[in-house]
Each structure stands twice: as C-alpha cells, then as structure tokens.
Amino acid sequence: MLIVMKNKATKTQIKSVVKAIEKLSLKAEQLPGAQRTAIGVTGNKDYIDQGRILNFPGVKEIIHVTKKYKLVSREFKPQNSKVRINKDITFGGKAPVIIAGPCSIESYEQLLEIARKVKALGADMLRGGAYKPRTSPYSFQGLEEEGLEIMSKVSKKIGIPTISEITSTDQLDLFKKHTDMIQIGARNMHNFDLLKKVAKLDKPILLKRGMSATMEEFLLAAEYILNEGNPNVVLCERGIRTFEQSTRNILDLNTVALIKEESHLPIIVDPSHAAGRYDLVAPLAKAGLAVGADGLIVEVHNDPKNALSDGGQSLTFDSFKSLIKEL
C-alpha cells in the first residue's frame, strides 16, 4: 500500500511514519514526488490498522496497490524511474540508450575493433557474451571467464561501459568485478534464485523477457529484484514465441507500450533477437523507439559471415552507421 503524505509534511513527520511501519516488520520506502512524498509499504500479509496510521501528523491518505507486482507498478511509483550507468548514460532519460556489440566475445582483437567502431558511430554501451546459453550443446558456449576479462580490458582501453549475460550464481564475483551492467537472459527470467542473488550485487540489471512469458510474469520477475533492495532494473523486450515461423521471434510492441503505462521501470527492445535477421533490425528498432522504448540493444560484428554465433542477425559497421543516422 501507499501512505500519501500531505504537501507540507515535515521530514520529522515522514520519519515517524517510516519508523512506525518498520516496527511492524514491514518495508517502508520513501517515494519523493514533485508535490508530496509517498511511503511505499510492502511485506504485509496480515491486517494493518490503517486508522492508526491515518492519525499520524502529516498523513493525507492510504492507497492500496491492486497489482500483483507492487514495487514495479505505477500505482506504487507514478514517476518514471531512471537507471544511471554513469554521469553520461541514463536509461529513462531524454535520449535513448544504444547498446551495441557482438553476440559472443571471440578474442581481444575482435572485441577491441568492434568497441572502437560502435563507440565512434554512437553506441553508449558495449555488449558481448562471455557465457552463452545455447540451444544446442554443440554450439559455441563462449570464452567464459576469459571473455569477461577481455571485455574489462577493452572497456578500460576504449572508455565504454559494458554489459554481459550471467548464467549461474557461480559467476557472481566475476560479473561484479568485470561488468558495469548485468544481463539476465530470457532463459533465466524465471530463475528466481539467480535474480535474488544478482540483485544483491548492487549493479544495474537488464532483465530480458522470457520467450513465452506474459507481461505479468515479466514484471513479477522484476519484482523479485526490487524486493531485494535493488531498484536499478531495465526491462528488455526481445521477442516472444508464437505460431509464426517466418522470423525467429515476434517483437511484442504491444507489451512495450503497455509496460510504459503499467510500470515506472525503463524498457528497451532487442530487435536482433526478435527478428533473427539483420535486414529487419533497423525497422524494428525504429518501431520500438516509436512506441516509447528507452533504448536499444543490437548485435554488431566486424565479420558477421564468420561470427561464432548469431551472425545472421548481426549488423555490419556500415549498417549500424546507417541505423544510427536513421534513428
């Protein structure tokens, strides 16, 4: 529920309400607004004496959050959340954040070349897979720890923040050391143990939608992370499975637009994984931004024809340059 304070409520009055909530073994989060402060309350399973809370000085009203996903809903926090990577990069800010790079890190030389080029062309962050959860056990599985070390070296040399996908709780220390943002892939959206432990690393998290997950399931997965005390979550629509087989997945723009209504969290789109075809990346990227997405994550490779993974959906440097120009 939300405890809405009066416009002129003092800091002392707000603190007294927070203390009273915490005495009930509940979580109380202050949500400052332009006009007034609200206090979000979570963790309540039993009856709370609302009349007692309403009698506190400075309290205006109590609003019940009706959604299953409390912390990520706009009922809980009407204002858009912003997730900052550094002083120059903010998801949910005025400009869309562009993340670009290869599906897989193949070598130091490969990633260095790609990082230099995508940054020069307008990318804000560098993506690259070190641990690759592949459908086939015979496909390239990534360079693992070596890949993360390569990414860290390239990041420092080029001066570009990085994001990579974590696949196991065994990798927590490595990702804390080597990445600026941690990606939870579609296959792990429902891995709640991983979600909770990654949340505690206190790093920004990109949460990808599961291949067959509903919007409610997607937002409830994000709820796990916020419930562990980490508010820095960016959602990612990467395409869902349907009966249609002409493309790899279907980019669900309905859900992108609806999440902007239902949740305060930033959301970006991944047109590369949605289409599975490089020639559809640009139109889907533009469509995603048109419906309100806060950024893009696209695959770019220096030699897509010889890429160790997902070459067919990777942009060349020239096509990435054209995309940035069109955007």
Residue 36 has pLDDT above 80, yes or no: no
pLDDT at 61: 86
pLDDT at 121: 98
pLDDT at 47: 60
Does the fold of domain 83-326 match that of domain 2-63?
Answer: no
pTM of the model: 0.89
Instruction: Give 267-312 pLDDT, tens digit per residue.
Output: 999 999 999 999 999 999 999 999 999 999 999 999 999 999 888 9
Query: Stretch 215-236: mean pLDDT, rounded?
Result: 96
Angle of the 215-227 helix axis to the 253-262 helix axis, nearest 10: 50
How is residue 72 annotated by DSSP? T
Instruction: Give 83-142 pLDDT, tens digit per residue.
Output: 999 999 999 999 999 999 999 999 999 999 999 999 999 999 999 999 987 677 767 778
pLDDT at 189: 97
Instruction: Name, in order, each residue with C-beta under 8 angstroms of 254's C-beta and a sequence gap of 6 or more.
Output: none
pLDDT at 186: 96
pLDDT band at 206 (very low <50, low <70, confident <90, very high): very high
What string of H, E and C letters represents the secondary structure of 228-247? CCCCCEEEEECCECCCCCCC
pLDDT at 251: 97
Exposure string over 184-201, b if 16+ CB within 10 A, otherwise e: bbbebbebeebbeebbeb
Query: Stretch 58-78: mean pLDDT, rounded?
Result: 87
Query: Stretch 254-279: mean pLDDT, rounded?
Result: 97
Query: Stretch 65-72: mean pLDDT, rounded?
Result: 86
CATH 3.20.20.70: does it fit domain 83-326?
Answer: yes
pLDDT band at 45 (very low <50, low <70, confident <90, very high): low
Instruction: Give 154-191 pLDDT, tens digit per residue.
Output: 999 999 999 999 999 999 999 999 999 999 999 999 99
CATH 3.40.50.2000: does it fit domain 2-63?
Answer: no
Residue 67 has pLDDT above 90, yes or no: no
| Tokens 């004496």 belong to residue | 49
Residue 46 has pLDDT above 70, yes or no: no
pLDDT at 233: 98
Backbone angles phi, psi at 241, to 5 degrees: -80, 135
Per domain, the residue ranges of the chain are 2-63, 83-326
Alpha helices, H only, 24-144: 50-54, 108-121
